[in-house]
Chains A and B, each alone.
Chain A
Amino acid sequence: GQQLNQSPQSMFIQEGEDVSMNCTSSSIFNTWLWYKQDPGEGPVLLIALYKAGELTSNGRLTAQFGITRKDSFLNISASIPSDVGIYFCAGQYDYKLSFGAGTTVTVRA
């Protein structure tokens, strides 16, 4: 599948700060998903979005499915040290996923 445009590529944040990352695509998707991957582990699903315009929260995480179906963003509020990791967006069409390149988050204590 195609690779989505995910930004930023990496970020250093202060503990307690809010974090934002986003993904854009030239194609439309039926579903947008956000995963977090720790070193040596498989990606873990954070949030799934199924409808254009949908805004969904999971604890300190909030994500939105863009109205054009070609973009999505993920916000993390009040970051903590365990938020360190690589975050991937994924767009799903016809059951296949296309992934962003990932955003590496490092938290400064």
Chain B
Amino acid sequence: GAVVSQHPSRVICKSGTSVKIECRSLDFQATTMFWYRQFPKQSLMLMATSNEGSKATYEQGVEKDKFLINHASLTLSTLTVTSAHPEDSSFYICGGLAGTDTQYFGPGTRLTVL
């Protein structure tokens, strides 16, 4: 299957700082990437869809100014959590859409905001 990486795997930051999470498709080109967050014992919740070279589309209730998404190339999308607060602590997962219209996920990033 297609491989997606995320970096960092876990990050701890102070309240008010910004955190950037990278998502890379390693062996395929992903014109579309997705960002999810997952709370304990729950399913994945879609935050936004990003297409290479264009603005991301955010789901209802997700603040675009707080969760900045950049999809600068066919293999890299970044999510920046700006002015992070403890309620932003979560498990963030990216997904890349491969040529077969199948979504492959990264290993996730555990964000803890103190």
Binding site for B on A (CB under 8 A): 1, 3, 30-31, 33, 35, 40-45, 48, 50, 88, 90, 92, 95-97, 99-102
Contacts and interface: CB of A to CB of B under 8 A. Distances in A.
Interface in B1-20: 1, 4, 6
B104 to A, nearest CB: 6
Contacts of A48: 100, 102
Interface string B74-114: 00000000000000000101010100111111111010000
Interface of B: 1, 4, 6, 32, 34, 42-44, 46, 49, 91, 93, 95, 97, 100-108, 110
Contact of B103 (A33, A101, A102): A33
A41 B44 CA distance: 12
Nearest to B1: A45
B57 to A, nearest CB: 10
Nearest to B2: A45
A43 B93 contact: yes
Contacts of A100: 43
B101 A99 contact: no
Consensus secondary structure, chain A interface? strand
A44 B106 CA distance: 9
Contacts of B93: 42-43
Contacts of A41: 107-108
Contacts of B1: 44-45
B103 A97 contact: yes
7 contacts: A30-B101, A40-B108, A41-B107, A43-B44, A43-B105, A50-B100, A101-B42
B108 A102 contact: no
